[in-house]
Amino acid sequence: MERRVLLAFLLSLLVLLVYQSLVAPPPARPPEVAGSGAPPQSAPPAVAPDQSPAPAATSTPAAPPADPATAPREEITPVVADQEAREVVVETERVRAVFRNRGASPVSWLLKEHLDRETGAAIDLVPGELPAVELPPFSLVFEDPELTGRAADALYRPSAQRVAVADRAETLAFEFEDSSGFRIRKEYEFEPGMHGYLVRFRAEAFDGDSRLAPRVAWGPALGGVEASSSGMAYREGPRGVIFGRLVGVEGVEDEGITRPTSSDIVARPAYSGQIGFAGVDNHYFLAVALVGRQEAEVAYRYVPLPPRTPDGPARELMAFSLRAPGETIDLPFFVGPKEFDLLEQVDAALIRSIDFGWLGWLVVPLHRSLTWVHAYVDNWGWAIIILTILVNIVIFPLRHKSVVSMRKMQEVQPEMKAIQERYSHLKATDPEKQKMNQEIMALYRDRGVNPASGCLPMLLTFPVLFAFFSLLRSAVEIRGEPFVGWITDLSVEDPLYITPIVMGASMVLQQKMTPTQADPMQQKIMMLMPVVFTFMFVWAPSGLVLYWLTSNVIGILQTVVTNRVIGPPKTRTVRPPAERRVKKSGRGTGSGRKARQSE
């Protein structure tokens, strides 16, 4: 029983690792549909189309090229505008955002505390080298495509040439008005401190005396996508993320998280309902609008882009647009890393954007515990080791009970095999075969052995192991964090492959020390598992390898302690069946002789 459970666990984990690293397919490239590809480079920027498809009732068609004969731009002159194109830099403790006055939108959003592994530069959440017709973040999309183009091409007048956010919130405003009465005002309010990744976006637009109700669009997102060294640890490429009560085919759905991929939005590009937050994320970073569970609508568009270098990978990004309630846009946006504590401070529901999988109910307390330990040791590697020790202390009684039960099973193994040998000549369908099971159960009862007591404690520890796996593969907190010596980033593989090799050796030692009922052939097969795991963990994040290695070392020490407590295994000598029959026959002859003598 224990052997089968252990083998099932190892095979399950192996399947999980293989699926994550090799089998899990990349997001399916959707078929080319009208408007799905990037518009040609030759399209004039002044008439940028709506970058996100809306539902059929509110869809915005792509703007045709401006016809000078029907819409002469020279007849409309700026009234409130800047004189020349320029950039405005906003500096906070954690972000350096660069805005262009053309369109009054950011063209760069650098995270100072998160560096690119290859270049060492700050991660930029606004993708670079995009086609000119792709709208930047916080663009306004109107029902009239001509107004969308004018809003994107206008030179807005900024309220400051540079903004530095220190101990209080600061606002950067952009204004534009032309002679036709078309005017727009955009405001970006930046929060200091822990909310340094939070920006409140306000926008209002008028066409003469009429107030307009535009959508806010975010072009291709999300920057900060890195090539992964292991599919076990990374999910490459952005995807949509929506939290709320959405309207589905069968009515209003239960509140929950929805993560549309590029293939999903071909069938369903728009989502509506009571939305808590909506936007785009990748493995470690997030750009979402905090709608606050209001009635809203979000639409997505798949944006395939060519590689930045001739031999580089193609980029598959996703754009989105949001129609918020009311005519004036006034929404906070979170644009930053998916740090657990940070998201919780901004909005408790925002932690749902971290994809912890089906064990989220267990991963969350583990994450809180890991953060708590890190606050004292200030090193994520040591925090992983300490938390692993604490978790193993908690499950020590379960492991102890499992080892004790396996020891008892090992002690009765000779007697059980002797029973099986007596019935080995019978077929499995023979009714007499049932007596063998009855004798084995009687043996278990006489020796005080419960086969299930070795299985259940081990099964109870499996969720903890998988939860740790999910935690360490998703936590942005350990990204770029060093441990000791050669391990400079716990979120990538060990560059010298030392920890995976030591981990494999510890698995071999642990298997040799663990009581087993397996025959020699099965033991050889089980010994292949450390070899397989070693190769699998060579490309695993070093933080995950560190956890597994620590667990193995603790398991070895616990086995030593348990063996000392319960003492050496008891050896029971089982007489062969023939010997028992001879002695039984002799006892019968002697008794008959005594009976005859008494006569």
Q: Is 240:227 a contact under the CB 8 Å cutoff? A: no
Give Rg (Cα) of the chain. 33
Query: Which pLDDT band holds residue 298 (cuts at 50, 70, 90)?
Result: very high
Which residues, including other chains, have CB under 8 Å from residue 164's CB and lie 6 or more apart?
A: 90, 91, 170
Q: What are phi and psi of 124, to 5 degrees?
A: -110, 120
> Could you read off the pLDDT of 159-201 as tens digits, one per residue?
999 999 988 899 999 999 999 999 999 999 998 876 789 999 9
Q: What are phi and psi of 434, to 5 degrees?
A: -65, -25
Three-class SS of residue 526?
Answer: helix
Burial of 410 (0-12, 13-18, 19+ CB in 10 A): middle
Closest CA to 280 of 336, 342, 231: 336
pLDDT score recorded for residue 446: 81
Closest CA to 332 of 313, 319, 345, 341: 345
Cα of first residue to Cα of last residue in the chain, in angstroms, is 56
Three-class SS of residue 297?
Answer: strand
pLDDT score recorded for residue 299: 96
pLDDT score recorded for residue 262: 86
H/E stretch holding 137 reads none
Q: Give the CA count within 13 Å in the CB-facing half-sphere of 318.
A: 33
pLDDT score recorded for residue 148: 94
For residue 275, is pLDDT > 90? yes
> Could you read off the pLDDT of 317-366 as tens digits, one per residue?
999 999 988 788 999 999 999 999 999 999 989 999 998 888 888 999 99
Comparison of pLDDT for 445 and 599, the residue scoring more = 445
Peptide bond into 459 cis (omega under 30): no
pLDDT score recorded for residue 440: 82
pLDDT score recorded for residue 413: 76
Burial of 285 (0-12, 13-18, 19+ CB in 10 A): buried
For residue 126, is pLDDT > 60? yes
Q: What are the domain boundaries of the chain? A: 2-20+365-412+449-565, 55-63+76-355, 417-447
Closest CA to 336 of 92, 168, 102, 135: 92
> Could you read off the pLDDT of 196-214 as tens digits, one per residue?
899 999 999 999 989 999 9
CA distance 292 to 589: 93
pLDDT score recorded for residue 223: 80
Tell which CATH architecture fits domain 55-63+76-355: Distorted Sandwich (2.70)
For residue 116, is pLDDT > 70? yes
DSSP tally for the chain: helices H, then strands E: 14, 20
Comparison of pLDDT for 262 and 154, the residue scoring more = 154
Mean pLDDT throughout 476-485? 90
Q: Is 546:385 a contact under the CB 8 Å cutoff? A: yes
CA distance 228 to 22: 12
